[in-house]
Each structure stands twice: as C-alpha cells, then as structure tokens.
Amino acid sequence: MNTQEQRLADISIIQSHSLSMDAARSAAQTVADQMVADYDMVAEWTGNVLSFTRSGVSGTLAIAETEARLEITLGFMLKAFAAKIEEQVAKNMQKVFSATA
C-alpha cells in the first residue's frame, strides 16, 4: 500500500522545480531510467506517479506542479546503503529537475 510505503520510507526526497508538468514528467522518467539501469528496477506510471520495484526496494516518484516527491523503502539488506543511495539519487534528481524546459 502506497500510504504505508511512504510512512515507512527509508529515503524521502522532495525536489522543487519550475518545469511544466510535461517537462517534469520527462525529468522523472530520466531519474527512473537511471534507477532502472543502476539498480535493475521495474518502473510503471499510474497518472503522475511512477512506481518502481525490485527485490529489496520499492517506492514512488510523484510529480506535482512545483515539486517531485521520491519515497523509497529498502529491504533489510540494503538499509546499510541508504545514505549512499539517497546521496546518489538526490544529486540526480537535482540535476534533472533544475534543467530548463
């Protein structure tokens, strides 16, 4: 359940942006593509929310008019790497969401 995932998220990142919704969705897809490549995840859009999962990791990337909200829940084996994963993903989000449309 998404609400439970968000409450229990090990990584929460809110990235503000000034992009159009189409550009923000494109930026989110860029972040998702990188996560899929780096962490062998499966990603799927439902409206403006991108859900992603793989063994030991699940989460959502929700796009709104002025921000993107990433929530990641890590399995036990990956919790030790939470800070490193958060740092890498936050840098990528900042880069793609600060780009001009």
Q: Kindly report the CATH number assigned to the domain that includes residue 54.
A: 3.30.310
Domain that holds residue 85: 2-97
Q: Taking a C-beta distance cutoff of 8 angstroms, is the pair 10, 81 a contact?
A: no
Q: How much is the pLDDT for 40?
A: 86
Please give the model's pTM, rounded to 2 decimal places. Answer: 0.82
**pLDDT average, residue stretch 77-82:** 92
Number of domains comprising the chain: 1
**pLDDT average, residue stretch 28-33:** 84
Task: Tell the burial category of 34 from Cβ atoms under 10 Å away from its Cβ (0-12, 13-18, 19+).
Answer: middle
